[in-house]
Amino acid sequence: MAIYPPNKTQKDIDEVYKRAYERTKIIYPKKKTFFSPRLRTLHQISIDKGYLASTLVGIGDFCIDLVAACIAAVKKINRKIFPREDVIHGTKKDSYVTGKITFAKKNDLTTPIHHMQVEFWARTFFGGWRKMSSGHTDEEGVFKLYFDFIEAKKFKYRRSFHFEIHQVEHVFFNQDSGEPRKKVSVFDSFKVKKSDLTGMGYDLGLIQLFYWEYRDDVPIPRVVIKEQNEDAPEYYSEGRNEAAAEQFIPIEIIKDKHLLQIKRNPQSISIESIQDDYPTNLTVAMEREIPGSTRCDYWFGRRMMNGMSCATFLPDEKEKGKYWVKIFGSCDYEVNQEFAFPTVYGQFKIADNGLPLPTKIIVKGQTDAYNKNPFQEKTFTPNDGEKWEQAKRIMRVSSALSSEIDDHFAGTHLNTEQYAIAVRRNVRLNPVAELLLPHLKEVTLINHTADTNLIGPGYIPRASAMTAEGIIERSKDALGTHDWKNWKPMEPISEQHTFAIASNLFWDVVHQFVDYFFDENEEDIKKYWYEIYCMSNDLVNNSVPLFLSEQDSRKWTGEERELNQDRIEYNHLRACFDNTLSRDIINGKKKSISSITKSKNTPAEGDMDNLKDMCKYAIMVATFLHTYVNEHQYEDIGEVLYCSLGLRYGDKEDGIFQPENDYSIAPDLTRATQMMWFSNLLSRTEYGFITRNEEHDIHPYFSKLLLDKKEEFAKLHVNVENIESRTNI
Amino acid sequence: MGAITRGIKGFFAKLYLWIFCKFFTFIIVITLSLKRKRMSHDNGIGAIGRATIVKNQKFPAHDFFEPGQVFDLRIRHASATFLDDAMNCIRSMSIKFSKNEFKSPFDLEMNTGEISLFWSAWSFFKFAQLRKEKYGVEYIEYYKKYPEGLEGAKIALRRNPNSFHDLRYYSKTPFKFKGKDDIKRYAKYRIIPFDNIPETGIVDNLSDVDTGNQRIFPNETRGRNYLKEEYETRVKTQEVKYRLQIQIRTAQDDENPEIFNNMVPWNEEMFPWHDLAVLEIEKTLNWEDSTRTGFSLNNMPKTLGYIPAKSIYDYNSLNYMRAHSEWARKARMFSYKIFKFPRPIPNDDDRNSEDWKKIQKNKVSKFLRS
Ligand SMILES: [Fe+2]
């Protein structure tokens, strides 16, 4: 196929794109009723479990929901009858409870939990809550809560007092004044016998909290989640679960139906029927109007530049005006022998319309079941007819998988989690908590779900070349190219490079917002600098080593060296990673994340700017960068034959170089429906947007700044209303 | 209405304190006194001499402390609670202005350390409840729960002092002091060596976890009775003199109750120590006379007695409780008559021990057989 389908022009495609986009864009529905099917939490989803199929499960769920609703109602009534008023009872401060709070995991036992909110409560014989004292732990994790001893000894109080450790669950903002309000929950509580209070001090001793602990079982900074619904460091907001359920239930029903059909009557189902059952995505809608509109070179270049892959265009040193896009395939990561994942280099020129047009595609590595040489190369140009079309598909598929693991999972999800953990472990009184928590919340939860649904034994290892081990190793490496320091968005290479232009526009908004926030809160940010110091230490100490720095480069063969140097150069450029910075070396490993401060109590010169930059970066990654790759999944991997995450080798001699209608290389039926389920799930269940501000958890100034640029973003095909405030899907 | 409620509540608080103290004394009588034991200070040595009230008085004049007046003196030094002088113990000095076993116009009971290990009747109850002694290690749980108790122990424990004579003893909880001018005041007392030689036996850098370990050092060469023996020799061979000192503050209407807290020493700049009397020791008493010696906070002039307490949580409830434990002493004296006199602590190898029963066993069995 040529640049455009026969007898069609760019204008035709652009118009069909607009119509298809309007038709297929995701509408967020209204609230459900009590009797609609429900999903208690997002973590219940599974790629192959027929969650809604069984009547028994349905009845069981209804009962559980009923019990949960009753418990919630009782709790609500209880809270109404026995409110916890923020009034200290007693006048004197002549006695105190003391103790020390540290983390609980081995290797973390001696780390104090500083500035943790602690409270001391009594209950009257009639159940009323009476606050005796409140305060925070100091830098050593020690708390000393003074209270009125004689008041506490009064007969009206029950025999047990409650020492409680509180944590900030969510941050909200008054939408008029911008004043933050923290929703605090009890993280842990201990009973203190009234009779043990003797005046003077009472020591609760060492309290070890299993609180935002780093995992030891993966080489990536991840938080331990024992049980997502009951023993997690954080929980989804109610709205998030509801929104997920609304969008997810119909998709789940389709997948369950397909899995049943495949099991009972495989003849009744095909890739086409699977595709037809799911909501029509962008490429399907466009193809229906103009066949070939999404397979032509114009669309290929346009999506490579501004689609889910939002590729980096590296200027060709030999041919002026040309660029290389490099998609690194399986490399030396663990792969299976069912799916191909070749490395693909695409050469592009920028056409007069400002969009890239592919001029050459080099496929490197294994592409059939027989020749396993990882360094074999095949070069194609637009003159190669059908093979050129196949090469484009192969590049799309490799790019989709790479984008899914390197950019989406590692670059945004895991990248955000490492900031979320460091902030949650350390930042509490510093206003930076109010700035960042709304953008860093829930990422750990969705990543925990991804561990099983996306990685082992989830979708990607079943539907692509990568094994679970391979994904973890690859993600760790990918994370090694991400750092806040000196980061800036991708440079646009033409006026049609809408992804890069929009990134820069959003970056400007983030700059304005964060600068404003720092101006407003500078004093307290400096006052609680110790929290930043500890956060920086956690962030750096737990970050992964620099990309490929653990490999012994002296052992590389010539071909490996060439490939790895290409990977380092391209990935550093892609992640805007400044390799010239001196970074901390811990236990012999050069850490990928730069330190924000080395100064314990007050910011040293440049430290405030460092902190600002880190905050800007974390917000940028968790919001715009994640949303971009996440929402484009529905457009770019929402059609099985257009682009899946893997092409099977099949048994033909030329392996994956087959036309789209050869289903022997396409995903099989199960994986086809799972793929559709997966892309729909991830794109459709977004919740928590900056401008919609459903929970009032976004600073109104941020929303306003973004809304002010609505028109500008719209010209770049970005709907600001759809930019998520956090990475939670 | 508020005044009536306060009055009723105050009455019940005092009633509870009274019942609490009586009940506590009853338990002491049953569990210790009738077994010929004191509550804690069994391991001690008595002595007699004289006390001379200083002439040049820098504290408000008081009828009882006439300048230059000489009183008879009976004292007793002891180590609490173990029957082994070489352990890390609180040491005590109790005095009475009389040579009698008990009867006296003025008694004081003092311990080492400027602060104590407990601060009210209720706190003392928890202290007793959480002792959990085993092989010379005690109060582990108490020290964990009560930081001031731990601090008090660190400050008050004395390991292997050269002599009872070297140490400083404090009355800690204040007493009344109503002098000739009839102004209401409070007083604290202490005893220091006359020549103010440096104190020995202070343990530096005692760790939190080790404070409860009062066991003798490994390879300890000092005997179980070394301190009593040293004192006996010292009194025989050299002059043994102390200064009894007093700290005075005027009572205020809006008193902060913390001034009665024995865990909070009074500022010495504001309330300096003044010499009250010189105590001269003439001879030590034998085991039996030493053991018979008893002290009571009731043995004080009314104008110098203990400060009334309002509840079991009142800092003054400690002295109130001491004063109300008279029956324990009487029961002990009674038990001496019934069971014969308790044997002295042998110089044997039963170290780190507080096993009074074991020491008395032979005697008791003999008594029962006879
Ligand atoms: Fe995502």
Domain chopping of chain B, boundaries: 41-321+343-369
pLDDT of residue B81 exceeding 80, the answer is yes
The answer to whether the beta carbons of residues B115 and B155 sit under 8 Å apart is yes
Sign of CA dihedral B329, B333, B336, B339: negative
Does the beta-carbon distance from A199 to B146 stay under 8 Å?
A: no
Question: Which pLDDT score, from 0 to 100, does residue B366 have?
Answer: 47
Q: How far is the CA of A35 from the centre of ligand 1 (A)?
A: 29
A-chain residues near B147 (CB < 8 A): 98, 200-201, 203
B254 CA to chain A: closest CA distance, Å? 14
Phi/psi region, residue A688 (left: phi>0; alpha: psi -120 to 50; beta: rest), is left
A409 three-state secondary structure: helix
Which residues have a Cβ under 8 Å from the Cβ of A146 and sit 6 or more positions away? A93, A94, A95, A96, A133
> End-to-end distance of chain A based on CA atoms, in angstroms?
36
Overall residue count recorded for chain B in this entry: 370
Percent of chain B with pLDDT over 70: 97
- CATH architecture label of B41-321+343-369: Beta Barrel (2.40)
**From the list A196, A199, A205, which residue is nearest B120 (CB)?**
A199
CB atoms within 10 A of CB A721: 15
Q: How far is the CA of A723 from the centre of ligand 1 (A)?
A: 12
Superfamily of domain A95-211: Immunoglobulins (2.60.40.10)
A61 three-state secondary structure: helix
Cα–Cα distance for residue pair A493/A315, rounded to 1 Å: 10
Does the beta-carbon distance from A205 to B146 stay under 8 Å?
A: no
Best CA proximity match to B163, nearest among B111, B201, B116 = B201
Alpha helix stretches (DSSP H) within A528-548:
529-541
Q: Calculate helix-pair angle for B326-339, B2-31, nearest 10 degrees.
A: 20
Tokens of B138: 């005690």
Write the DSSP string, B26-49.
HHHHHHTGGGT--SS--EEEEEEE
A94 Cβ under 8 Å from any chain B Cβ: yes
DSSP A153: T
Ordered strands of the A160-173 beta sheet: A129-136, A117-123, A160-173, A180-193
Could you check whether A95-211 and A405-722 share the same CATH topology?
no
Domain chopping of chain A, boundaries: 95-211, 405-722
Instruction: Please identify which residue in the block is written with the tokens 């008493």.
Output: B285
Cα–Cα distance for residue pair A652/A665, rounded to 1 Å: 9
A187 CA to chain B: closest CA distance, Å? 23
pTM comes to: 0.90
Cα–Cα distance for residue pair A245/A252, rounded to 1 Å: 10
Q: How far is the CA of A288 from the centre of ligand 1 (A)?
A: 28
Q: How far is the CA of A281 from the centre of ligand 1 (A)?
A: 18
B126 Cβ under 8 Å from any chain A Cβ: yes
pLDDT of residue B368 exceeding 50, the answer is no
B288 three-state secondary structure: helix
Q: Are strands A314-315 and A356-364 parallel, antiparallel or unpaired?
A: unpaired
A147 CA to chain B: closest CA distance, Å? 15
B92 CA to chain A: closest CA distance, Å? 24
Percent of chain A with pLDDT over 70: 95
Tokens of A20: 């298809």
Residue A57's pLDDT band (cuts 50, 70, 90): low
**Which chain A residue has its CA at the smallest distance from B257's CA?**
A94
A-chain residues near B118 (CB < 8 A): 198
Tell me the per-residue pLDDT of A512-563, one tens digit each, with 9 for 90 and over.
999 999 999 999 999 999 999 999 999 999 999 999 999 999 999 999 999 9
Q: What is the CATH number of domain A405-722?
A: 1.20.245.10
Average pLDDT, rounded, for chain B: 92
Residue A569 CA, chain-centre distance (Å), reads: 25
pLDDT of residue A381 exceeding 60, the answer is yes
Q: How far is the CA of A629 from the centre of ligand 1 (A)?
A: 8
Mean pLDDT (whole number) for A130-138: 97
A-chain residues near B119 (CB < 8 A): 198-200
Across-strand partners of A344?
A327, A363
Q: Which of A198, A206, A207 to mutate to test the interface with B (most CBs of B within 10 A)?
A: A198
DSSP B3: H
Question: Which pLDDT score, from 0 to 100, does residue A47 have?
Answer: 60
Cα–Cα distance for residue pair A380/A390, rounded to 1 Å: 10
Amino acid at A729: I
Most confident stretch, A138-142, A678-682, A687-691: A138-142
CB atoms within 10 A of CB A548: 17
Instruction: Please identify which residue in the block is written with the tokens 């980061």.
Output: A487
Tell me the per-residue pLDDT of B116-159, one tens digit each, with 9 for 90 and over.
999 999 999 999 999 999 999 999 999 999 999 999 999 999 99
Residue A205's pLDDT band (cuts 50, 70, 90): very high
Tell me the per-residue pLDDT of B328-354, one tens digit each, with 9 for 90 and over.
888 888 888 888 888 899 988 889 998
Question: Which pLDDT score, from 0 to 100, does residue A56 have?
Answer: 65
Sign of CA dihedral A165, A168, A174, A178: positive
B151 three-state secondary structure: helix
**From the list B119, B145, B257, which residue is nearest A203 (CB)?**
B145
Mean pLDDT (whole number) for A693-717: 95
The answer to whether the beta carbons of residues B291 and B341 sit under 8 Å apart is yes
A682 three-state secondary structure: helix
Average pLDDT, rounded, for chain A: 92
Mean pLDDT (whole number) for A595-600: 97
Mean pLDDT (whole number) for B159-185: 96
**Which chain B residue has its CA at the smallest distance from A200's CA?**
B148
DSSP B279: E
> End-to-end distance of chain B based on CA atoms, in angstroms?
66
Q: How far is the CA of A720 from the centre of ligand 1 (A)?
A: 17
Angle among Cα B16, B18, B24 to the nearest 5 degrees reads 100
Cα–Cα distance for residue pair A596/A313, rounded to 1 Å: 30
Which residues have a Cβ under 8 Å from the Cβ of B263 and sit 6 or more positions away? A200, B115, B116, B119, B148, B152
Question: Which pLDDT score, from 0 to 100, does residue B328 have?
Answer: 86
pLDDT of residue B175 exceeding 80, the answer is yes
DSSP A655: T
Cis peptide before A691 (omega within 30 of 0): no
Residue A75's pLDDT band (cuts 50, 70, 90): confident
CB atoms within 10 A of CB A64: 12
Cα–Cα distance for residue pair A322/A350, rounded to 1 Å: 7
Angle among Cα B173, B175, B179 to the nearest 5 degrees reads 155
DSSP A684: H
Residue B363's pLDDT band (cuts 50, 70, 90): very low
The answer to whether the beta carbons of residues A350 and A328 sit under 8 Å apart is no
Across-strand partners of B306?
B175
**Alpha-carbon separation of residue A418 from A358, A411, A442, A688 (angstroms):** 37, 11, 12, 20
- Give the lowest-confidence range in A108-117, A238-247, A431-440, A576-585: A238-247
Amino acid at A394: I
pLDDT of residue A27 exceeding 60, the answer is yes
Which regions of A61-141 does DSSP assign to beta strands (E)? 95-103, 117-123, 129-136
**From the list A149, A199, A201, which residue is nearest B147 (CB)?**
A201
A728 compared with A204, residue with greater pLDDT:
A204
C-alpha torsion A723→A724→A726→A727, nearest 10: -100
**From the list A98, A196, A198, which residue is nearest B120 (CB)?**
A198
Does the beta-carbon distance from A153 to B313 stay under 8 Å?
A: yes
B-chain residues near A98 (CB < 8 A): 147
Across-strand partners of A285?
none
B145 CA to chain A: closest CA distance, Å? 4
Cα–Cα distance for residue pair A40/A325, rounded to 1 Å: 42
Which residues have a Cβ under 8 Å from the Cβ of A618 and sit 6 or more positions away? A416, A419, A436, A439, A440, A484
Number of H helices, E strands in chain A: 22, 16
Which regions of A157-222 does DSSP assign to beta strands (E)? 160-173, 180-193, 200-209
Question: Which pLDDT score, from 0 to 100, does residue A275 have?
Answer: 92
Best CA proximity match to B166, nearest among B74, B234, B84 = B234
Alpha helix stretches (DSSP H) within B192-286:
226-237
Cα–Cα distance for residue pair A631/A487, rounded to 1 Å: 23
B292 Cβ under 8 Å from any chain A Cβ: no
Pairs of CB atoms within 8 A across A/B: 41
Longest dimension (CA), chain A: 93
pLDDT of residue A48 exceeding 70, the answer is no
Tell me the per-residue pLDDT of B4-50, one tens digit each, with 9 for 90 and over.
888 998 899 999 899 988 888 888 888 887 777 788 888 999 999 99
A621 three-state secondary structure: helix
Most confident stretch, A41-45, A265-269, A374-378: A374-378
Residue B3's pLDDT band (cuts 50, 70, 90): confident
